[in-house]
């Protein structure tokens, strides 16, 4: 599974990293780092929760 990061939409709510800090890395100002994220087998549940928790819809799940 991959997460497509729409960096421009991020407003720094940090809900994603609260769910899955190992998946969603934030910069020093609390915004998601740019670049899509490859999610390992063991992290998929937390990663999808984190992605869905973003109120700005900045994190798009790609299961293809
Ligand atoms: Fe940004 Fe959404 Fe996470 S606004 S810090 S991607 S919860």
Spans of all domains in the chain: 2-62
Binding site membership of 5 for ligand 1 (Cβ less than 6 Å): no
If you write DSSP's letter for every residue of 35-54 in order, what string do you get? S-EE--GGGHHHHHHHHHT-
Of the pLDDT bands very low, low, confident and very high (cuts 50, 70, 90), residue 58 is very high
Domain 2-62 has CATH 3.90.1200.10: no
Q: Find out whether the beta carbon of 16 lies less than 6 Å from any atom of ligand 1.
A: yes
pLDDT, tens digit, for every residue of 12-29?
999 999 999 999 999 999
- The interface predicted TM-score of the complex, written ipTM, equals 0.98
Query: What dihedral angle (degrees, nearest 10) is formed by the CA atoms of 22, 17, 9, 37?
Result: 20
51 lines ligand 1 (CB under 6 A): no
- For residue 63, is pLDDT > 90? no
Q: Which atom of ligand 1 is nearest to the CA of 9?
A: 4
Among residues 45, 16, 52, 47, the alpha carbon closest in space to that of 32 is found at: 16
CA of 11 to the centre of ligand 1 (A): 6
Q: What is the distance between the alpha carbons of residues 64 and 47, in angstroms, rounded to a whole number? A: 15
């Amino acid at each position: 599974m991959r997460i497509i990061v729409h960096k421009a939409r991020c407003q720094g709510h940090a809900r994603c990293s609260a769910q899955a800090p190992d998946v969603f890395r934030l910069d020093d100002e609390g915004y998601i780092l740019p670049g899509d994220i490859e999610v390992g087998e063991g992290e998929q549940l937390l990663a999808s929760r984190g992605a869905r928790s973003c109120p700005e819809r900045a994190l798009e799940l790609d299961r293809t």
